């Protein structure tokens, strides 16, 4: 699983730790822009295997990755 995160999300370090803990084989990269500027600063957003995902909390974001 390839996950691209935006560097502007305030809790990106916490999000990366949760992703690596739950998905050790995932490739996590932090990009300067992923094209979701309206949401990046306020909620967890990422491009996962080419699909854009945004959720209101880190917990909900991890649950959304479970279905991938």
User: CA-to-CA distance for 20 and 42, rounded, in angstroms?
Assistant: 21
**Tally of domains in the chain:** 1
Q: Do 35 and 59 touch, CB atoms closer than 8 A? A: no
SS3 label, residue 41: coil
pTM: 0.88
Q: How many CB atoms lie within 10 A of CB 4?
A: 19
Tens of pLDDT, residue by residue over 40-66, are 899 999 999 999 999 999 999 999 998
CA atoms within 13 A on the CB side of 36: 22
Q: Which domain holds residue 37?
A: 2-66
Q: What was the pLDDT predicted at 67? A: 80
Tens of pLDDT, residue by residue over 8-32, are 999 999 999 999 999 999 999 999 9
Kindly give, in sequence order, each residue whose CB lies less than 8 Å from that of residue 11, ignoring residues fewer than 6 positions away: 44, 58
């Amino acid at each position: 699983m390839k996950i691209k995160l935006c560097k502007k999300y305030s809790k990106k370090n916490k999000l990366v730790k949760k992703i690596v803990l739950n998905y050790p084989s995932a490739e996590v990269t932090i990009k300067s822009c992923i094209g979701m500027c309206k949401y990046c600063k306020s909620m967890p957003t990422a491009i996962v295997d080419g699909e854009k995902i945004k959720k209101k909390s880190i917990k909900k974001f991890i649950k959304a990755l479970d279905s991938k």
